[in-house]
A = this chain, B = another copy of it.
């Protein structure tokens, strides 16, 4: 059915090797031969099969994208950047949509079946050993949005969650909020803990105590439900929510309880996803430089493919305050 190398070879009156070389930049072919081959290819509609080529070259130019949070709108931008970025560099993304609890070995298997050149883990919630399973199997792997770690097991990129937490605390303190609350994502996830730690470090300097709670998921509903529970003991002056969606859910609960934001209570989120800036939401938040983080991750991944022995490095970017309308003025 499909046109093969040998069909073209026959049509152009050359050997199969010649056709292969015509499609390999820098290979030894006479210009006249090459153009004759290209002509025949165009006429027959030939397109080299990269998978067949991968058998000998050992490269598929396929990169596995492993993600487990398709609920958070923040990730749409991330997928866009990853897929476009890989595509621009001649790689094609193969998606693995991790259902909660899929073991690492199974995800690994799904990718090895297709001989991907590398895998990228896009997740803040994946357990710690996940990336290591991939690396130990000899598959180049990078972890995006992982916990900041000066000496990581695999290349990683993201923000320093503790720094983001400190920034949130300083921002709230600077506005004169006194009793502070923290609303995190699932407790077993690193970002939820690290953001809390940074937040607490800064408040502890002033001997402030903070209340905290962890939502069951990084979602609107979980944020809303958790805030409702927190409110049973009365509201704080302001809350740091470890994620924008969580923050929006929390605000919904606050307003339902008759509290005005920012009139009665301040809220600051994290991520600066697109809709944080939408009217009706207008959320003050801490931004991750997503484009930089993704670009760094792609760079790390491709470097690792070139040189599998490369030492793992952490690319950590600063988080940045984005002021909108959910905190009172200074």
- Chain A contact residues, CB within 8 Å of chain B: 1-2, 45, 47-52, 54-55, 58, 60, 62, 65, 70-71, 73, 75-77, 79-80, 83-84, 87, 92-97, 99, 109-110, 112-115, 137-138, 220, 224, 248-249, 251-252, 255-256, 274-275, 278-281
Contact = CB atoms under 8 A, between A and B. Distances in A.
B279 A255 contact: yes
Nearest to A283: B280
Given A52-B55, A275-B275, 15 more contacts: A2-B115, A51-B115, A65-B95, A70-B79, A70-B80, A71-B80, A73-B73, A73-B274, A75-B76, A93-B95, A224-B279, A248-B275, A251-B280, A252-B280, A256-B279
Contacts of A220: 274-275, 278
A114 B1 CA distance: 15
Contacts of A84: 97, 99
A55 B79 CA distance: 30
B94 A94 contact: yes
Contact of A47 (B55, B99, B113): B113
Contacts of A50: 113-114
Contact of A248 (B60, B62, B83, B280): B280
Contact of A97 (B48, B62, B83): B83
Contacts of A94: 62, 92-95
A280 B255 CA distance: 9
Contacts of A62: 94, 114
B112 A47 contact: yes
B278 A109 contact: no
Contacts of A279: 224, 248, 251-252, 255-256
A115 B49 contact: yes
Nearest to A87: B97
A313 to B, nearest CB: 24
B47 A51 contact: no
A245 to B, nearest CB: 9
Nearest to A49: B115
Contacts of A49: 113, 115
B278 A252 contact: yes
A50 B97 CA distance: 19
